[in-house]
Structure 1
Amino acid sequence: MIKTRIRDFLITEDDWIFAVSDYFHPHGIRSTLRYVPDENGERELNGIRYKKYDFDVSFDFMRENRPEWVEDVHVVPEDSIKKVLRPNDVIEELYDSDKRVAVVVDTLEEAGISREMMGVTGSLLPGLQNEGSDIDFVVYGAQWFIARDAIAKAKSESGPIEDIDETMWKKIYNKRIPEISFKEFIAHEKRKGNRGMVEGTYFDLLFVRDWEQINESIQRGEDIGKMKIEAKVVNADLAFDSPSVYIVEHEEIDHVLSYTHTYAGQALAGEVIEASGTVEQVGNLKRLVVGTSREPKGEWIRSLTLLEKEGLI
């Protein structure tokens, strides 16, 4: 059985490249198609030109070419996988070849994080980056929170790691199209502290569970309608994971899940949130799911505690 985690990539026998999108794989590897060989593609790897597919287009391609692999994600049979690319396997190579990656690695090592707990995903993982590519930096498990604090400290100093400017924040906001205002978005994002700039390139610090944290799969539930709730967050240990998990105190809802990266790390334990999404019944529990589509409408998570503190409500 092939062991994979989110942020890993797969290369199939057809040289299709998928991003792993789950920790649990009942049959085949749950993932999303990202790159396909195309003679007119704008990127190149080992002499092969590739085209990058956005989320919706990737599903159109898969329904036409491998409909049997299409579920809520793309399920790749293990016998079709030629190679697994893992973010922590490329850290040494990128440290030597990319000064921007080296800056982040050095910053985290100074905070006591070993390179074994770091990685790089996104287009840099297979080597398909272009001049405009961001750096998707991975840190595993509880070390992520130490890394986040180290990045925040580095941004407060006059070094190569800088805070994001207003222009870049607006670009990120317009790309995400969230259901909250720009001022609310900025208030949440600046507190998270997991984004920055290094030598003019935007980078994101992404959380991936350490192996011992992978112990319970998220079961699919039955959609039973829409709901907006206010609830106190009692556990946010996996708030930066994918999906984000917020255990809440509420008379009906046990926890809130977010499949939308915008709402990762949106609230801390002890805070009151407002969340709007789809209610799912899972056994005896009900949960609220935010991000039931690529650009969900009428779905959001807001920390009312934070917004009140910032004078935004």
Structure 2
Amino acid sequence: MFIRDMVRFREGDFVESVEGLIFDVKGLIHPKDRVIAYVRYVPDPLGDRVRENLRYRKIYELSERFRFLSENYPQYLLHDPFIGEVVEAVPRWMIKSFYKPEFKLAEMVKKCRELNSIEDLALKLALTLRDEANISLDKVGISGSILIGLHNQSSDLDIIVYGYRNCLKVYEALKTLRQLNVLESCAKIIDKLYRFRSRETPIPFNVFRNIEGAKLLQGLFHGREYFIRLVRDYNEVDEKYGDRKYRNLGRIILKATVINDSESVFTPCRYLIDDVEIVEGAHYPVKEVASFRGRFCEQARIGDRIIVEGKLEEIKFKGEKYYRVILGGEGDYIIPIK
């Protein structure tokens, strides 16, 4: 048995296929023989990312990622019997290499004198969060392009924090660091963020500016854009692949009131809702809005009235059935309206 067959993968990890495709792992729950992960970097002689004299290009939109695999590498698409849809998933036996954020951070600490300017800044941010939150270094990791050695001068800083309590401590630390001006909001780069995100997530600019400017999980550190993901640890997820069964009920637009936002800072994020008004789509008793995409974290607060568009799902879990809106696809959004 290979090491890749025994490794537990989670949000923030990356895997590299035998063809050199690099995928970012989504969530903590995976089939036994595959890892649910979305293609992110692909070999391309015209690409602007370079590693070991090989060029790569980064694929941004989810629809483009899916199309690339469909046309070139359909073996990385799986019809998931529990989700009832086709998902991107890498067979374990086709994984050539894997990359873990916590290992990367430990390596960077040991080689701190050999780091380039961007790596050094990522290390400083990780250590700042560790110190301010007073958590163990092995519960922090460095993900994104730095993790896989494909960063360039425009790359941002992607930090991962593991464990429920550690995550809450870091979130409190972010408040302090923002007050001390160690971290800045993303106000200076809001135009750039809007141009990028509005391609998939349609939100009026003034609303986008207000929401994004208040977020703590993203901003600027020494002028460099950062994004922090808060992820539960392995032992905090009491669920295995196949425990939940999903049924796609089509698109839905609804208005609702957020009654619990305690998981809005985590990846995946979740908002519990009540007083639901269906604007368009099938009428079901929807209880939550969720997403695996970081852009939907910190999007609304308890008490907010929101309007949401996304995919309506029926979920069966432990003998119960409930309904949620899942956000992540093109055109999905969640916007506070008062």
TM-score of the pair, normalised by structure 1: 0.85
Tell me the equivalent position of 1:110: 131
Q: 5 Å matches for 1:277-292?
A: 277-283=310-316, 284-291=321-328
Q: What do the CA deviations read for 1:153-201 (whole angstroms, capped 9, x no partner)?
A: 2233254x333333x0121122111333223223322333112212221
Q: Among residues 30, 41, 51, which one is paired with 1:35 in the alignment?
A: 41
Q: What do the CA deviations read for 1:100-151 (whole angstroms, capped 9, x no partner)?
A: 1232123223220221111111111101001111111111132223223323
User: Aligned partners of 1:241, 1:148: CA distance in 2, in Å?
Assistant: 10
Question: Does 1:148 pair with 2:174?
Answer: no
Q: Among residues 203, 206, 211, which one is paired with 1:188 in the alignment?
A: 211
Question: Does 1:66 pair with 2:73?
Answer: yes
Which is strand-richer, 1 or 2?
2
Contact residue 26 and residue 292 of structure 2 kept, 8 A: no
Change over 3 Å in CA distance of 1:60–1:181 after alignment to 2: closer
Tell me the equivalent position of 1:223: 249
1:221 match: secondary structure: strand
Q: Among residues 190, 193, 198, which one is paired with 2:221 in the alignment?
A: 198
Matched to 2:76, the amino acid is: W
**How many residue pairs are counted as aligned between the two chains?**
298
Tell me the equivalent position of 1:245: 270
Contact residue 15 and residue 98 of structure 2 kept, 8 A: yes
Tell me the equivalent position of 2:281: none
Q: Among residues 153, 163, 178, which one is paired with 1:131 in the alignment?
A: 153
2:154 match: secondary structure: coil
Q: Among residues 4, 7, 10, which one is paired with 1:2 in the alignment?
A: 7
Contact residue 149 and residue 193 of structure 1 kept, 8 A: no
Contact residue 107 and residue 150 of structure 1 kept, 8 A: no
Quote how far apart the aligned CAs of 1:92 are.
Answer: 2.9
Contact residue 221 and residue 281 of structure 1 kept, 8 A: yes
Quote how far apart the aligned CAs of 1:225 are.
Answer: 4.5
User: Aligned partners of 1:258, 1:162: CA distance in 2, in Å?
Assistant: 25
Tell me the equivalent position of 1:79: 93
Quote how far apart the aligned CAs of 1:29 are.
Answer: 0.7
Contact residue 258 and residue 300 of structure 2 kept, 8 A: no
Deviates more, 1:211-220 or 1:21-30: 211-220
Deviates more, 1:121-130 or 1:218-227: 218-227
**Structure 1: gaps of 5 or more residues:** 309-313
Contact residue 251 and residue 309 of structure 2 kept, 8 A: no
User: Aligned partners of 2:14, 2:143: CA distance in 1, in Å?
Assistant: 8
Matched to 2:224, the amino acid is: T
Query: What is the Cα-based RMSD across aligned positions, in Å?
Result: 2.4
User: Aligned partners of 1:300, 1:246: CA distance in 2, in Å?
Assistant: 13
User: Aligned partners of 1:106, 1:286: CA distance in 2, in Å?
Assistant: 40
Quote how far apart the aligned CAs of 1:7 are.
Answer: 1.2
Quote how far apart the aligned CAs of 1:63 are.
Answer: 1.7
Contact residue 7 and residue 20 of structure 1 kept, 8 A: yes
Question: Does 1:173 pair with 2:187?
Answer: no
User: Aligned partners of 2:87, 2:217: CA distance in 1, in Å?
Assistant: 27
2:289 match: secondary structure: strand
Quote how far apart the aligned CAs of 1:254 are.
Answer: 2.0
Q: Among residues 208, 211, 215, which one is paired with 2:231 in the alignment?
A: 208
Quote how far apart the aligned CAs of 1:269 are.
Answer: 4.1
User: Aligned partners of 1:50, 1:224: CA distance in 2, in Å?
Assistant: 36
Quote how far apart the aligned CAs of 1:42 are.
Answer: 2.1
Contact residue 258 and residue 271 of structure 2 kept, 8 A: no
User: Aligned partners of 1:190, 1:141: CA distance in 2, in Å?
Assistant: 26
Quote how far apart the aligned CAs of 1:272 are.
Answer: 4.1
TM-score of the pair, normalised by structure 2: 0.79
Tell me the equivalent position of 1:311: none
Q: Among residues 84, 94, 105, which one is paired with 2:108 in the alignment?
A: 94
Quote how far apart the aligned CAs of 1:278 are.
Answer: 2.9
Matched to 1:246, the amino acid is: Y
